[in-house]
Amino acid sequence: MTQQYTIARLGHQGDGIADGPIFAPRTLPGEVVTGGVEGQQLTDIRIETPSDDRVKPPCRHYKACGGCQLQHASDPFVAAWKVDIVRAALAAQGIEAEMRPIHTSLPHSRRRATIAVRRTKKGTLAGFHGRASDVITEIPDCHLLAPELLAAIPVAEALAVLGGSRKGILAVTLTLSSAGLDVSVQGGKPLDGPLEASLAQAAEQQGLARLAWDGEVLAMRNPPYQQFGAAKVAPPPGAFLQATKDGEAALLSTVQEIVAGSKKIVDLFAGCGTFSLPLAADAEVHAVEGEPTMTQALDQGWRMAQGLKRITTEARDLFRRPLMPDELRKVDAVVLDPPRAGAEAQVAELAQAQVPVIAYVSCNPVTFARDAKAIVTAGYTLNWVQVVDQFRWSAHTELAASFTLSHISG
């Protein structure tokens, strides 16, 4: 039975929420909508009274594709909504902070994407999954991906023909690098001699910089370098990389501003050196990361670079073994860039260490706000927050925040 609802607000996943709560994807606050209810989900939605912030989605794939959630909303609306998500998360912890104007990456700027590929009777089907679905939507005119990345989807299809199963879906991560396309495949057939040979031959024919299959490097014509400041780093297959160069630059410039003047910096959850290597132009850096292959890549990048100050690396699980206060003495600043779970254990020790400056980079406003509460309670001031939107048209929100000790003794 069709029912009518008024959308009150957007949830954290970008869905409209009406009283109930009833969740209505691709709706906006203030809109009057009708549809059928299944559980808490509104289906077969019809917009009866559209919002002034509703726009025509720029991408023709939007209706079927699950890659974006907010193309039906104006850019100013999305920008304000993402800033408000961070403000509300902080308010829930009793914290207010200056919110700087959001920085949003341009369309067609994603340098990395994981493409879903399935073999079919006629060949292959490659693209993104539909919303909450195993159905794959082809994306030849995607507005997110950089043109060079979009042009590489046939590579994913060719690999699926060679090593994909008719029963499963291949996850093919395509990353642009200075040496060409870096490809990492998960979910393929088990490797044997003939398959290895055919995949290596395909990598050569396609001109790939590197091809990895379920974590094993099968071919590397050239190291797939990423530029981090003055250093070139070849990350391990599938390693974390900021989604856009523009978003990475915005986060980096914010972190550099926060820690400016520091001579000794600890970079926690350092990855392959996104922040460590550029910061080493002016400061000594100790980079800590849980994955040894990443610290090795970072160290090698530093050793090959010219003109950088000393970087030391440490492979360490910061969730189980956070750096302790005595390990943070004589440090001028800490950079903290944890995964979505945040850094609760590390923040507890960091708060006791009383490091003068903390630059916190987060991809989850809720866990950031929880950690910010602990930092502020320990005597720090949250000076300001810079929201960065490099996942345009998605519900994903990133930020960098400046903390300084309110009273530095001595």
Domain extents for the chain? 3-54, 79-106+244-405, 112-225
Side chain identity at residue 23, one-letter code? F
User: Contact at 8 Å (CB) between 334 and 360?
Assistant: no
Give per-residue pLDDT as tens, 75-87: 999 999 999 999 9
Instruction: Determine the Cα–Cα distance for residues 313 and 311; give it in Å rounded to an integer.
Output: 7
Q: Are the C-beta atoms of residues 99 and 83 closer than 8 Å to each other?
A: yes
Give dist(CA 24, CA 33) in Å, integer.
9
- Rounded to an integer, what distance in angstroms lies between the CA atom of residue 43 and that of residue 5? 12
For 304-320, the pLDDT digits (tens) are 999 999 999 999 999 99
Q: Is 79-106+244-405 the same fold as 3-54?
A: no
pLDDT, residue 13, reads 87
pLDDT category at 106 given cuts 50, 70, 90 is very high
What is the phi/psi pair of residue 49, to 5°?
Answer: -130, 100
Q: Is 242 annotated as a binding residue?
A: yes
Percentage of the chain with pLDDT > 90?
Answer: 88
Per CATH, domain 3-54 is 3.40.50.620: no
pLDDT score for 410:
33
Across the range 55-70, mean pLDDT stands at 93
Cβ contact 308:230 at 8 Å: yes
The token pair at 261 is: 């003047």
Burial of 286 (0-12, 13-18, 19+ CB in 10 A): buried
Q: Which residue has the higher pLDDT, 38 or 376?
A: 376
Contacts of 314 by beta carbon, 8 Å cutoff, 6+ apart = 286, 287, 288, 289, 295
pLDDT at 123 over 90: no
pLDDT tier at 407, thresholds 50, 70, 90: low
Q: Are 311 and 299 in contact (CB under 8 A)?
A: yes
Sheet holding 264-268, edge to edge: 98-104, 380-389, 398-405, 357-362, 333-336, 264-268, 284-289, 311-315
pLDDT at 185: 95
So what's the pLDDT on residue 372? 97
Stretch 40-46: mean pLDDT, rounded? Answer: 91
Do the annotations mark residue 269 as ligand-binding? Answer: yes
State residue 408's pLDDT score: 52
Q: What are the tens digits of pLDDT across the range 217-233?
A: 999 999 999 999 999 99
pLDDT for the residue 2 = 86
Integer Cα distance of 76 and 409 in angstroms = 43
Contact 139, 156 (CB under 8 A): no
Neighbours of 290 (CB within 10 A): 18
pLDDT value at residue 238: 84
- Size of the chain in residues: 410
Whether residue 31 is annotated as binding a ligand: the answer is: no
The answer to whether residue 279 scores a pLDDT higher than 80 is yes
Superfamily per CATH, domain 79-106+244-405: Vaccinia Virus protein VP39 (3.40.50.150)
* Interatomic CA distance for residues 79 and 70, integer angstroms: 11
The fold adopted by the segment(s) 112-225 is OB fold (Dihydrolipoamide Acetyltransferase, E2P) (2.40.50)
Per-residue HEC secondary structure of 236-261 comes to: CCCCCCCCCHHHHHHHHHHHHHHHCC
What are the phi and psi torsion angles at 220 (to 5°)?
A: -145, 100
- Confidence class for position 89, pLDDT limits 50, 70, 90: very high
Positions marked active-site: 363
Could you count the other beta carbons within 10 Å of the beta carbon of residue 93? Answer: 16
The C-alpha atoms of residue 360 and residue 244 are separated, in whole angstroms, by 19
- Across the range 252-257, mean pLDDT stands at 98
Q: Considering only CA atoms, which of 382, 339, 328 is closest in space to residue 359?
A: 382
State the average pLDDT for the chain.
Answer: 94
The two beta strands, 16-18 and 9-10, are antiparallel
Q: What is the mean pLDDT of residues 179-207?
A: 94
pLDDT at 138 over 80: yes
